[in-house]
Amino acid sequence: MTQSPQAPSGADLPRLPVTLSVNGETHELTIDPRVTLLDTLREHLHLTGTKKGCDHGQCGACTVLLDGQRVLSCLTLAVMHDGQSVTTVEGLGTPDHLHPLQDAFVRHDGYQCGYCTPGQLCSSVGTLDEIARGVPSHVTADLDAVTFSAEELRERLSGNICRCAAYPNIIAAVTEVHAAGDGA
């Protein structure tokens, strides 16, 4: 049996320019077009808060906000996002000035090992915004009246796996922040 070469030739690829605004700071990069948005953040901009759990869109650990909407940064290439704005977990808040959701995650123990946490947080920010904008989900009963519920949260956050299984605590944290009206 033979395990054969799978990629096209290893010929060097041209690097391409891309300008990204990350957490409000503009970065002009010249980058290998194969570099994902995730690896751009982690390996090129040294923003390692965004995590690589699977690198192919199955775990949610790499979730960031791209122009305000949540995306899996492992499934998109940096060069596709010239001129766009990215918010990562580092852009939500810092240890001394936590975002209300970050603060609620600490108080509700909405994590254990912490590796999925940046993705859960960015996904939660995106989710609260989607509900506020009336974007329905699989469990929305009335497509014209999207309302917040724990069931909606569980459905919408199901792309963010937590193997430590802080799920009930995450739902409690996000619910509290929603009730206080400061999840944006």
Partner 1 sequence: MKFEQASPPNPIDQERVVTRPFTRIEGPLKVSGQAPYAYEYGLPEAPTYGFVLGAGIAHGRVTRIDTTQAEAAPGVLLVLTHENMPAQARSDTPVPQQREASPQLSGPEIRHYHQAVAFVVAETFEQARAAANLIEVEYEVTPGQFTLADTVDSGKEPKDAVDSVVGDFESAFADAAATVDLTFTTPDQSQAPMEPHATIAQWDGDQLTVHTAHQVVHWVRRGLALTLNVPQKDVRVVAAFIGGGFGTKLLFFSDAVLSAAAARLLGRPVKTTLHRPLIFNNTSHRAATIQRVRLGADPDGTLHAVGHDTWTGNLPGGDSEPACEQTKYLYGGEHRQIRTRQSELDLPPGASMRAPGEAVGMLALEGAMDELAEKLGLDPVELRLRNDVQFDPEKGPKRPFSSRRLAAALRTGAKAFGWDDRPRAPRERQDGEWYVGYGVASAFRTNLVMPSGATVRLNPGGTLTVETQMTDIGTGSYTVLAQVAAEMLGLDLNQVEVKLGDSDFPQASGSGGSWGANSSSAGVYAACDELRRDLAQKAGYQSANAVFRGGKVWQGAECTELSELAGKGGVEATARMTYGDLTEQFMQAGFGAHFVEVGVNAHTGEVRVRRALSVVAAGRILNPVTARSQCLGGMTMGIGSALMEALHVDHDLGLFVNHDLGEYHVPVHADIPDLDVLFLDELDDQSSPLRAKGVGELGISGVGAAVANAVYNASGVRVRDFPITLDKILAGWDD
Residues numbered 122-161 forming contacts with partner 1, rule: CB under 8 A: 150, 153-155, 157-161
148, 130 contact by CB (below 8 A)? no
Q: Is 117 in the site for partner 1 (CB under 8 A)?
A: yes
Where b means 16+ CB within 10 Å and e means fewer, 109-135 reads: ebbeeebbbbbbbbbbbbbbbbbeeee
**63-66 and 85-87 as β-strands: parallel, antiparallel, unpaired?**
antiparallel
Instruction: Provide CB contacts within 8 A for 28, sequence distance 6+.
Output: 17, 18, 19
Nearer Cβ to partner 1 (96/144): 96
Q: Least separation, in Å, of the C-beta of 120 and partner 1? A: 9
Nearer Cβ to partner 1 (95/144): 95
Q: Is 34 in the site for partner 1 (CB under 8 A)?
A: yes
The one among 116, 125, 131, 146 contacting partner 1 by CB under 8 A: 116
Whole-angstrom Cα distance, residue 160 to residue 137? 15
Q: Is 167 in the site for partner 1 (CB under 8 A)?
A: yes
Contacting partner 1 within 69-108 (CB under 8 A): 88-90, 92-96, 98, 102-103, 105-107
The one among 84, 112, 136, 149 contacting partner 1 by CB under 8 A: 112
The one among 18, 22, 40, 49 contacting partner 1 by CB under 8 A: 49
Q: Is 180 in the site for partner 1 (CB under 8 A)?
A: no
Instruction: Provide CB contacts within 8 A for 134, sequence distance 6+.
Output: 146
